[in-house]
Amino acid sequence: MWNVSGVRPLAPLGAALLAACAGNGAGLDANGQPIGAGGAPPPPLTADFKSIQDDILTPICTHCHSGAAAPEGLELDAAHSYALLVGVPSNEDPGRLRVKPGSPDASYLVLKLEGSPGIVGAQMPFGAPALPQATIDVVRQWITNGAPPAATGSTAAVGSAAVASPDSTSFAVTAISPRDHSRLSGPPPRQIVVAFSHEVDASLLNETTLRLEIVAADGAPPVALSARLAEGNPSVVLLTPQRALGPGGYRLILRGSGGGGLADVNAQSLDVDYRSEFTVQGAP
């Protein structure tokens, strides 16, 4: 028996819902933004990394994800974001890349923005309303396009005394995570991320050019590392310690001087040795 007394107003609502259709996109550009919008609005969000950095990461994400205390070591300011996002495994879910070029659905960044059921922790932006799906779709489109870097360089020197400011041609370190002189109070890092200004010659990644020493442990063997280039981001080297890093100080040495030092794919050497130190703090 049907019982509809008192609920007739719902019927037209239901009909309207069922009759709704997707937009035909008329008057919108390739990113779903109005074409030639008047007035003085900010530049429309587009599916390139500079726009995503300028319109999403910098104004929204860097409220938390910046500086040495950035959550999960993920600094999303213009100097670090691309290197730490593209092809880099997530700390929360190491089985997923933060951004997997070509695969937005497999990119942890998208899952976090959309609040997908499989994520660890809260939906992003943390402490703020979720981004509109149209905005997330722009990020998706950028990833679908292969997650290319910004057309004009958005990288800059990191705030580390050990890292030089690269010019447009020199081969240099542009970002290291964990930062130099950082103190890590959470779980020890599963990986160390080193970003360079150019594509790295992977054949030069070995125990001679990459070394993780234990500070104040003279004579102790270095921590064994495995090294590989980030997927789709060959300017970034991912270093994975082969054992959990216990409390204490660590020094990462990137050898760029002498024969066999780190170099880019055009055989341009680093020329100098880089040192970066961080401390893993024990549980309180």
- The yes or no reply on residue 273 touching other proteins (CB under 8 A) is no
Encode 6-42: b = buried (16+ Cβ within 10 Å), e = exposed: eeeeeeeeeeeeeeeeeeeeeeeeebbbeeeeeeeee
The HSE-up count of residue 215 (CA atoms within 13 Å, CB side) is 14
Judge whether 107 and 97 are in contact, CB under 8 Å. Answer: yes
Cβ proximity to other proteins, 231 vs 277, nearer residue: 231
**CB 232, min distance to other proteins, A:** 14
Cβ-based burial of 264 (10 A; exposed 0-12, middle 13-18, buried ≥19)? buried
265 Cβ contact list (under 8 Å, min separation 6): 198, 199, 200, 201, 234
Question: How far apart are alpha carbons 149 and 101 in whole angstroms?
Answer: 11
- The yes or no reply on residue 92 touching other proteins (CB under 8 A) is yes
Judge whether 191 and 92 are in contact, CB under 8 Å. Answer: no
Residues in contact with other proteins, shown as a per-residue x/- string from 141 to 160 under the rule CB under 8 A: x--x----------------
Two tokens, residue 263:
């170099």
- The yes or no reply on residue 283 touching other proteins (CB under 8 A) is no
Using CA atoms, how far residue 248 sits from 74, 239, 240, 280, 283, in Å, is 21, 18, 17, 5, 12
Cβ proximity to other proteins, 17 vs 216, nearer residue: 17
Judge whether 92 and 73 are in contact, CB under 8 Å. Answer: no
Residues in contact with other proteins, shown as a per-residue x/- string from 44 to 83 under the rule CB under 8 A: ---------------xx--x--------------------
Of 106, 164, 253, 272, the one binding other proteins (CB under 8 A) is 106
- The yes or no reply on residue 102 touching other proteins (CB under 8 A) is yes
Q: How many CB atoms are closer than 10 A to CB 258?
A: 11
Of 137, 213, 231, 264, the one binding other proteins (CB under 8 A) is 137
Of 87, 104, 188, 232, the one binding other proteins (CB under 8 A) is 104
Of 36, 118, 259, 282, the one binding other proteins (CB under 8 A) is 118
Using CA atoms, how far residue 13 sits from 7, 21, 30, in Å, is 11, 15, 32
Q: What is the total count of residues that contact other proteins (CB under 8 A)? A: 61
Of 70, 78, 97, 119, the one binding other proteins (CB under 8 A) is 119
**CB 11, min distance to other proteins, A:** 9
**CB 110, min distance to other proteins, A:** 9
Of 58, 68, 69, 103, the one binding other proteins (CB under 8 A) is 103
Residues in contact with other proteins, shown as a per-residue x/- string from 7 to 36 under the rule CB under 8 A: x--x--xx-xxx-xxxxxxxxxxxxxxx--
**CB 145, min distance to other proteins, A:** 10
Footprint of other proteins (CB under 8 A): 1-4, 6-7, 10, 13-14, 16-18, 20-34, 41-42, 59-60, 63, 92-93, 102-106, 114-123, 126-130, 132-134, 137, 140-141, 144
